Amino acid sequence: MSEWRKYIRKVTPYTPGEQPNKPNMVKLNTNECPYPPSPKVDEIMKSFNTDLLRLYPSPDVGPLVKAIAAYHNVDENQVFVGVGSDDVIGMAFLTFFNSKKPILFPDITYSFYDVWADLFRIPYKTIPVDDNFEINPKDYNIENGGVIIANPNAPTAIEMPLAAIEELIKANQDSIVIVDEAYVDFGTVSALELIDKYENLLITRTFSKSRAMAGARIGFAIGSEELISAMQSVKFAYNSYTMNQPAILAGVEAINDDAYFREIRDKIVKTREHAKLRLAELGFEGTNSMTNFLFVTHKEVDAKDILEYLKSKDIYVRYWNKPRINNYLRISIGTDEEMEKLYSALEEFLSE
């Protein structure tokens, strides 16, 4: 073997959900928003001055940071913006998780956490969720080099009450605790109100789900000035210009259109609650989702068989062949019309 081959970094990459592009497909596999972004985003994109592409964007992503800070009522130096929350969380791992002690996260959670840990050579330990897939904060009262919790968790869709999140942060004040709030807008109480109380807390959010902008790649973190400034330094040591001009402008319009945000979020929550009932009628059991997706298992039929049947009908949902969850499906909430197509297909398959 050539010497250089030994020195290639070996990683097991994250596997994103597939992105098929068929005319009449029902795509419920990657938790995208089924509605378009705000009409204000449409307007700004249509009037985009391409001369802006000649220039580098502002390295501090000023306009977007300003809009996010104002919306969340925090200081501008408490906000970090990145290329989706994947970029933001990855940057946070690189910045904060440099102890020799293992970082902690649940055994069932966002499957990118262990990928970043491996990439950055961060030791980690997974903490099993209980039989109902719930996270017990007391399980995190062990020595660690940091903690990351998705709240609500994914793919389980379960919310952890704010008191439990606070208990976990309080017991871990020698570590940075990251709360990944990718799905918080669909009904979970945010840990944002704890930001000024705990300087070791970092919250990450995304425009990909509730703001219908997965394709723009905008994510952000809110934390103490000290944490944000540490992340900025690491970012500027790697790539100063992460956000592109159109995304910055579109992001500002999206966050400023609160009425539209509420409208589509409420529609998704309403469809979700109806979906819980419909799927229960079809023999599914699931967690009490507080997100824009459901995590369900059928009492009699294998998840994999359902997955394959739905795929044959161009209906895409997500499945993981992983311990504890290999008989579950994760179904993103679509429009009412898309969900009706799902129910009909399921009815057809299950009655066979």
150 binds ligand PMP (CB under 6 A): yes
Q: Measured from the CB of residue 340, what is the shortest distance to ligand PMP in angstroms? A: 25
Residue 277 backbone phi and psi in degrees, to 5: -70, -45
Q: Which two tokens stand for residue 215?
A: 């394709």
Q: Measured from the CB of residue 84, what is the shortest distance to ligand PMP in angstroms? A: 3
32 binds ligand PMP (CB under 6 A): no
333 binds ligand PMP (CB under 6 A): no
The rounded distance, in Å, linking the Cα atoms of 207 and 255 is 9
Could you tell me the strand order of the sheet in which 284-286 lies? 284-286, 293-298, 329-332
Cα radius of gyration (the chain): 21
- Which among 19, 31, 44, 18 has a CA at the least distance from the CA of 210? 31
- CA max distance for the chain: 60
CB-neighbour burial class of residue 307 (10 A; exposed 0-12, middle 13-18, buried 19+): middle
Q: Measured from the CB of residue 102, what is the shortest distance to ligand PMP in angstroms? A: 20
Q: Measured from the CB of residue 11, what is the shortest distance to ligand PMP in angstroms? A: 18
Residue with the two structure tokens 């999140």: 165
185 binds ligand PMP (CB under 6 A): no
Question: Quick one: 205 or 298, whose CB is closer to ligand PMP?
Answer: 205
Among 78, 144, 206, 271, binds ligand PMP (CB under 6 A): 206
Q: Of 69-77, 83-91, 224-232, 254-262, which part binds ligand PMP (CB under 6 A)?
A: 83-91
208 binds ligand PMP (CB under 6 A): yes
Question: Quick one: 179 or 310, whose CB is closer to ligand PMP?
Answer: 179
Q: Looking at beta carbons, which residue is closest to ligand PMP?
A: 84
Q: Measured from the CB of residue 221, what is the shortest distance to ligand PMP in angstroms? A: 11
Position 196, amino acid: D
Among 44, 45, 194, 214, binds ligand PMP (CB under 6 A): 214
85 binds ligand PMP (CB under 6 A): yes
Running DSSP on this structure, what letter comes out for residue 138? Answer: G
Task: Supply the DSSP string of 290-328, one letter for each residue.
Answer: -SSEEEEEESSS-HHHHHHHHHHTTEE-B----TTTTT-
Question: Quick one: 219 or 223, whose CB is closer to ligand PMP?
Answer: 219
154 binds ligand PMP (CB under 6 A): yes
Q: Which two tokens stand for residue 224?
A: 């103490």
Among 159, 180, 185, 253, binds ligand PMP (CB under 6 A): 180
Question: Quick one: 86 or 341, whose CB is closer to ligand PMP?
Answer: 86
Q: Which long-range contacts (CB under 8 A, 24 or more apart) does 231-234 make?
A: 231/80, 231/91, 231/92, 231/95, 232/60, 232/80, 233/95, 234/91, 234/94, 234/95
Among 26, 178, 182, 268, binds ligand PMP (CB under 6 A): 182
Three-state DSSP class for 31? coil
Q: Of 79-87, 220-228, 232-240, 241-249, which part binds ligand PMP (CB under 6 A)?
A: 79-87
219 binds ligand PMP (CB under 6 A): yes
Q: Measured from the CB of residue 235, what is the shortest distance to ligand PMP in angstroms? A: 15
Q: Measured from the CB of residue 157, what is the shortest distance to ligand PMP in angstroms? A: 10
Q: Measured from the CB of residue 14, what is the shortest distance to ligand PMP in angstroms? A: 9
Q: How would you classify residue 305: left for phi > 0, otherwise alpha for psi between -120 and 50, otherwise beta?
A: alpha
Q: Which two tokens stand for residue 246?
A: 């159109």
86 binds ligand PMP (CB under 6 A): yes
Number of CB atoms found within 10 A of residue 317's CB: 23
Question: Quick one: 110 or 186, whose CB is closer to ligand PMP?
Answer: 110
- Contacts with ligand PMP by CB under 6 A lie at 84-86, 110, 150, 154, 180, 182, 206, 208, 214, 219
